[in-house]
Structure 1
Amino acid sequence: MTSLKVGGVPEHFNYPWYTSLKNKEYSKQNINLRWQDYPGGTGAMCKALRNGEVDIAIVLTEGIIKDIANGNPSKIVQTFVKTPLIWGIHVGAKSSFKTIKDLEHATIAISRFGSGSHLMAIVNAHNQGWDIAKLKFKVIGTLQGGIDALTNGEADYFMWEHFTTKPLVDNGTFRRIDDCPTPWPCFVIAVRNEVLENNFNEVKKVLDIINAETKDFKEVKNIDKTLSNRYEQQIEDIQQWLKITEWNDGEPITKNLITSIQNKMIQFNVIEEKKNSSSFIKNMYI
């Protein structure tokens, strides 16, 4: 039996991995797939891919493109969620900041440099016409670190996925000033090069299983109630999230998509130079 480790954020986007593991779909294909939660997000998973602590990771598109460009020995094998991610822009409940314009010179809480919360803060700043070189960051590690930093005044605002943080807005921990959607499909599946070389067929089987799981995911009976209970969210929020979220069920990632994303990332000053788009991807369906 082949052992593979897969990592992702402990959020509703990844529930199809939970159900396919629970149903022992991978064991039936002689694959021992083990799931690892990464509350620290994409930056933590990029580090885990580099260190060989995880073989497959469900990561934010912008984060893994930046990290592969910086030498991460991994490839993107497909898009996982093909719709944008909606990033909420949050301040502490008692903050004096009222609008996005108020935040131009404020300190931004980020999970780590190279993470989605870091890169999307740059995208938002670019959208607002701010000087990106003057942005001030405070590294806080996890969502809980963001809560602490905004509560005790170490940072002024924090960007995290809209629906994951909605309960914190509802209970008065955060106040959401606005949203900032990603200008690209939000999650991709990345695999270490060594694993692709040694276990190509097993990785392909894993992708076939998860793609079959996501294809009919929205039609699963009472999925809104299940997700609402598991992730402690209001059912109407989950229903809204399901409405605007589309998984990719196996369509290969293209060089044109990577080129388009790189062009935007250069425009946003997230990466300095464009690299050969084929160096970022591995086509599993040749």
Structure 2
Amino acid sequence: MKKVKIGGVPEHFNLAWYLTIKNGEYKAEDINLRWQDYPDGTGAMCKGLRDGDIDMAVILTEGIVKDIIAGNPSKIVQTFVQSPLIWGVHVANDSTFKVVEDLKGTKAAISRYGSGSHLMAYINAENHQWNLDKDLNFEIINNLEGAVEGLTEGKAEYFLWEKFMTKPIVDKGVFRRISDCPTPWPCFVVAAREDFIENNSEELKTILDIINNTTADFKAIPSIDKTIANRYNLQLEDVQDWLNLTEWSQELIDEQTLNEIQEQLHKLGVISKTVGYETLTHSL
């Protein structure tokens, strides 16, 4: 049986992977797919791919694009979630900040450099015409727990994270969400190490076929909203809102979209150059 290691954030977006693994669908095809949670997010997964700790990752599009250009020996093999990720701009509940403009020049909490929370801080700053050199400052907090501590203790002033996963923290009165900042592109892709693609293309295709069969009909799974709410400690109405906003994909991201992502990241100074479609993707 072929052992394959895949990483992703322990969030509702990835429930389909958990269900297909639990149902033994990969083992039925002689593949032992092992899931590795990455609560620290994109930057940690990029490192996992680089170090060979994982063969595949379900990862934020902008993060893996940046890291492939920086030398990560991986390729995007499919879009996973087609719809944008809606990031909430969060502050400590008792802070004096009321609107995003109040945050100009203050410190953003980020999980690590190159992470989604780091890159989206740039997008947020660009949306509000800030000076990217003067008005952006960062404090590394590793993960969501670190962000709670960082904002509460005043180590940083604001934090961007997926708004539905942070909703329970907002509901508890720890964070206050003052704005939303959607990604202007499909939010999650599946990436794989180049050596894994080269040596295991049939297994990779089988894995994608299995997950695609589930995501194609994900919203039709009986009581899926209740399952998500219970598993991820979310309110049922929030899960229903999220399901209405979320669309999965079974296709490879297109060249025009990747060019637009690169142009935006280059404009923000996040990447130093743009590259060709074939450098970033592999079509099975």
Normalising by the smaller structure, the TM-score range is over 0.9
Partner of 1:83: 83
1:46-61 maps to which residues of 2 (within 5 A)? 46-61=46-61
Task: Tell whether the 8 Å contact from 1:255 to 1:278 is kept in structure 2 after alignment.
Answer: no
Partner of 2:281: 281
CA distance in 2 between partners of 1:61 and 1:12 (Å)? 17
- 1:121 is aligned with what amino acid? A
CA distance in 1 between partners of 2:43 and 2:163 (Å)? 19
SS of residue paired to 1:225:
helix
SS of residue paired to 2:112:
coil
Partner of 2:197: 196
1:170-249 maps to which residues of 2 (within 5 A)? 170-248=171-249
Task: Tell whether the 8 Å contact from 1:7 to 1:58 is kept in structure 2 after alignment.
Answer: yes
- 1:6 is aligned with what amino acid? I
Deviation at 1:277, TM superposition (A): 2.0
Superposed CA deviations along residues 88-138 of structure 1, whole A, max 9, x for unmatched, are 000001111111010001110000000000000000001100011121100
CA distance in 2 between partners of 1:100 and 1:137 (Å)? 16
Partner of 1:137: 138
Task: Tell whether the 8 Å contact from 1:45 to 1:57 is kept in structure 2 after alignment.
Answer: yes
Superposed CA deviations along residues 212-270 of structure 1, whole A, max 9, x for unmatched, are 0101000011011110011111100000000000000x222222221121122223332
SS of residue paired to 1:132:
coil
CA distance in 2 between partners of 1:74 and 1:251 (Å)? 18
CA distance in 2 between partners of 1:230 and 1:144 (Å)? 18
Superposed CA deviations along residues 22-61 of structure 1, whole A, max 9, x for unmatched, are 1000001100100000000000000000000000100000
Q: Percent of aligned pairs with the same residue? A: 55
CA distance in 1 between partners of 2:201 and 2:215 (Å)? 21
Alignment size in residue pairs: 283
SS of residue paired to 1:96:
coil
Partner of 2:74: 74
Partner of 2:107: 107
SS of residue paired to 2:87:
strand
Partner of 1:272: 272
Superposed CA deviations along residues 127-155 of structure 1, whole A, max 9, x for unmatched, are 10001112110000011000000011100
CA distance in 2 between partners of 1:18 and 1:173 (Å)? 29
Task: Tell whether the 8 Å contact from 1:253 to 1:283 is kept in structure 2 after alignment.
Answer: no
Deviation at 1:209, TM superposition (A): 0.3
- 1:47 is aligned with what amino acid? K
CA distance in 2 between partners of 1:13 and 1:233 (Å)? 13
SS of residue paired to 2:126:
helix
CA distance in 1 between partners of 2:201 and 2:14 (Å)? 22
Query: Are 2:156 and 1:155 equivalent residues in the alignment?
Result: yes
- 1:153 is aligned with what amino acid? G
CA distance in 2 between partners of 1:73 and 1:225 (Å)? 39
CA distance in 1 between partners of 2:175 and 2:252 (Å)? 38
Partner of 1:6: 6
1:38-53 maps to which residues of 2 (within 5 A)? 38-53=38-53
1:245-264 maps to which residues of 2 (within 5 A)? 245-248=246-249, 250-264=250-264
CA distance in 2 between partners of 1:191 and 1:57 (Å)? 6
> Cα RMSD between the aligned structures?
0.8
SS of residue paired to 1:109:
strand
- 2:208 is aligned with what amino acid? L
Report the TM-score when normalising by structure 2. 0.98
Q: Give 5+ residue unaligned stretches, structure 2.
A: none
CA distance in 1 between partners of 2:251 and 2:177 (Å)? 35
Partner of 1:118: 118
